């Protein structure tokens, strides 16, 4: 069954819906995480209590609002694997990744949880959450609650998403940007020295530890400098942004903002120059990059690579009760994407890139340049 969004849904939500329903990129859109730890009790015996607890958080109601369907039409998946996995970190990670890519969420499925016993007594806990009803901050809180429930039988808090419809109404009331003025402020798009791949393709992933104390603008500058030797006179980046008054709001209120980085100016202005450029865009009113029709037409015509830099969380747990298990997306729309988790003490960057983009040698050089700019010194990687 096909599910449309409610009327008047914001552009970013429409893009999430399009990527999930039309482009078959659910594996690269929805929040997911996997963990290894001890589960108290028989998981199947906890199933109905767990599902009722999820409903009490209000997240099913939030998805029902986004899709304009009855809450009873929203589903939650819960599975328990039959056969134990070998106690091998690589095999455990591969099992979580394979499950993630082979079992997409339906549009009306708010959450999928799978528990799989691992030889030695621990269990693999896999969680996937619908981006149409949650942002990364929401997902981090829900995943922490799920770990607490299965690990310590701690009840999750109720009603966290009860105000989501009201926040959507407030978001709709934000002043809209003048899109023509935004495109003018962005400036002309130059022909890039490296071309993007205008097709969905297989994805590859790498990661490295970050040094502490980084600003987001230092991250953006490092990515732009790393691409500069091949990009030409400018580097076009995109990044997610949430308006300040919605950063604690339950629901997906993120917008994608474009940023043209002039390579020559970057050397003289540095990260503060990028910050000033971002402030102009972010203060111009509510808009998403998908609405900039003229700008996007130029990006497409010139085959400008789609490079995303996301200041986000990788959903790693606090303490030692649960061990984070990295997972990978099988397919991607973006040529190059940096997920940057700047958690103090154990920052981590996940680099995801499209197969065939730049070529392996150049890509390795780009990642090495970014790592040299914002990563830890060799041998000082911290826990993932």
What pLDDT score does 383 carry? 35
The per-residue pLDDT for 377 is: 63
What one-character-per-residue DSSP string does 277-288 give?
HHHHHHTS-B--
> What is the pLDDT of the chain when averaged over all its residues?
93
Q: What is the mean pLDDT of residues 27-48?
A: 94
- Of 60, 62, 68, 61, nearest to 8 by C-alpha is 68
Of 165-169, 252-256, 275-279, the one with minimum mean pLDDT is: 165-169
Q: What percent of the chain has pLDDT over 70?
A: 98
Checking if the pLDDT of 224 tops 60, the result is yes
Which residue, chain included where needed, has tokens 């969680």? 127
Q: Is the pLDDT of residue 381 over 80?
A: no
pLDDT value, residue 344: 92
pLDDT of 279 reads 95
pLDDT higher than 70, residue 379: no
Q: What is the pLDDT of residues 142-155, one digit of tens each?
A: 999 999 999 988 88
Average pLDDT over residues 253-267: 94
Per cent of the chain over pLDDT 90 is 83
Q: What is the mean pLDDT of residues 191-200?
A: 92
Using one digit for the tens of pLDDT, what is the confidence trace for 310-363? 999 999 998 889 999 999 999 999 999 999 999 999 999 999 999 999 887 899
Q: For 152-183, write each residue's pLDDT tens digit.
A: 888 888 778 888 888 999 999 999 999 999 99
Residues 121-128 have a mean pLDDT of 97
* C-alpha of 8 from chain center: 24
Total-model pTM: 0.94
3-state secondary structure of 221: helix
DSSP state letters, 119-152:
TTS-EEEEEEE-TTT--HHHHHHHHHHHHHHHHH
- What is the rounded distance in angstroms from the CA atom of residue 182 to the CA atom of residue 286? 11
How far, in Å, CA of 364 to CA of 212, rounded?
Answer: 23
Spatial contact of 125 and 111, defined as CB atoms under 8 Å apart: no
- In degrees rounded to 5, what are phi and psi of residue 219? -65, -50
CA angle 305, 306, 311 (to 5 degrees): 135
Checking if the pLDDT of 284 tops 60, the result is: yes
Is pLDDT at 217 greater than 90 in this prediction?
Answer: yes
Return d(Cα 376, Cα 367) in angstroms, integer.
Answer: 13
Distance CA 80, CA 78 (A): 7
* The pLDDT of residue 181: 96
Q: How far apart are the C-alpha atoms of 372 and 379, rounded to whole Å?
A: 13
What is the distance in angstroms between the CA of the first residue and the CA of the last residue of the chain? Answer: 39
Q: What is the pLDDT confidence band of residue 384, given thresholds at 50, 70 and 90?
A: very low
């Amino acid at each position: 069954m096909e599910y449309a969004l409610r009327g008047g849904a914001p552009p970013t939500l429409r893009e999430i819906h399009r990527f999930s329903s039309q482009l078959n990129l659910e594996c690269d859109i929805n929040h997911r995480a996997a963990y290894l730890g001890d589960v108290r009790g028989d998981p199947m015996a906890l199933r109905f209590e767990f599902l009722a607890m999820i409903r009490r958080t209000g997240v099913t109601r939030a998805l029902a609002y986004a899709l304009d369907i009855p809450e009873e039409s929203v589903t939650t998946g819960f599975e328990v694997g039959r056969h134990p996995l070998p106690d091998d970190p690589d095999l455990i990670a591969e099992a979580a990744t394979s499950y993630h890519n082979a079992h997409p969420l339906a549009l009306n499925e708010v959450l999928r949880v799978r528990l799989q016993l691992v030889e030695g007594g621990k269990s693999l806990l896999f969680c996937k959450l619908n981006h149409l009803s949650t942002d990364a901050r929401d997902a981090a809180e829900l995943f922490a609650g799920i770990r607490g429930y299965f690990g310590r039988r701690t009840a999750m808090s109720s009603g966290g998403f009860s105000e989501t419809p009201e926040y959507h109404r407030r978001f709709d009331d934000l002043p809209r940007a003048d899109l023509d003025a935004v495109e003018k402020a962005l400036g002309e798009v130059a022909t890039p020295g490296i071309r993007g791949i205008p097709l969905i393709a297989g994805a590859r992933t790498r990661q490295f530890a970050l040094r502490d104390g980084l600003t987001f603008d230092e991250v953006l500058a490092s990515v732009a400098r790393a691409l500069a030797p091949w990009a030409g006179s400018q580097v076009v980046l995109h990044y997610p942004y949430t308006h300040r008054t919605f950063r604690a709001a339950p629901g997906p209120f993120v917008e994608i903002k474009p940023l043209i980085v002039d390579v020559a100016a970057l050397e003289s202005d540095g990260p503060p120059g990028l910050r000033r450029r971002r402030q102009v865009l972010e203060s111009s009113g509510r808009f998403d990059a998908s609405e900039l029709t003229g700008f996007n037409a130029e990006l497409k015509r010139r085959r400008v690579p789609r490079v995303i830099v996301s200041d986000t969380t990788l959903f790693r747990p606090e303490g030692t009760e649960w061990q984070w298990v990295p997972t990978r997306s099988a397919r991607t729309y973006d040529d190059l994407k940096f997920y940057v988790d700047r958690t103090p003490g154990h920052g981590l960057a996940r680099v995801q890139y499209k197969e065939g983009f730049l070529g392996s040698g150049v890509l390795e050089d780009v990642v090495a340049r970014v790592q040299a700019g914002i990563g830890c010194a060799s041998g000082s990687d911290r826990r993932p």
